[in-house]
Amino acid sequence: MSKLYFNWSEMKNAPTPGEKVCDLSSLSEGQIKEIVFGNNKDAFKIIVFLKEGVVHGYVNKCPHHWLTLQRRSDSTFMMWSEIEVMCGHHSSVFDLTNSGRCTDGVAQEPIYQMFHYS
């Protein structure tokens, strides 16, 4: 799926733009929190990351093969650095504080940013 034509808000079970997705108090500095809307194969998954007072939200899909960023065998996220997450499938790395920019690996495109605010 090309980012050029991707609109996350049109996906099944996606929250409405501007909808509250979690309480700020449920986030921990430097930790990724996954939030799931819907069930089973139609679930829409996002990740939220709090860093230095800024909350970053992304669609939990790697642009390489459109898989969730976690490995299939567990639900943990692999942090590459304090601000970068590594895809558990083919090891592309994304900067969660810089619009999801791909900093290493085969993905070449950023993960899909939904919001960020401070």
Please report, as ranges, the residues that interact with ligand FES according to CB under 6 A. 62, 64-65, 67, 87, 89-90, 92, 105-107
Residue owning tokens 């567990």: 74
Q: Which is nearer to ligand FES, 55 or 101 (CB)?
A: 101
- Find the shortest distance in angstroms from Cβ 57 to ligand FES: 19
Closer to ligand FES at the Cβ: 15 or 91?
91
24 close to 35: Cβ distance less than 8 angstroms = no
Instruction: Say which residue the tokens 């996350």 belong to.
Output: 8
For the bound state, the minimum distance from the C-beta of residue 105 to ligand FES, rounded and expressed in Å, comes to 6
- Would you say 49 or 92 has its CB closer to ligand FES? 92
- DSSP H helical ranges for the chain: none
Closer residue to ligand FES (CB): 27 or 106: 106
Least distance in angstroms from the C-beta of 35 to ligand FES? 20
d(CA 70, CA 67): 8
CB 43 to ligand FES: min, Å: 18
Could you count the other beta carbons within 10 Å of the beta carbon of residue 21?
15
**Rounded Cα–Cα distance for residues 100 and 15 (Å):** 19
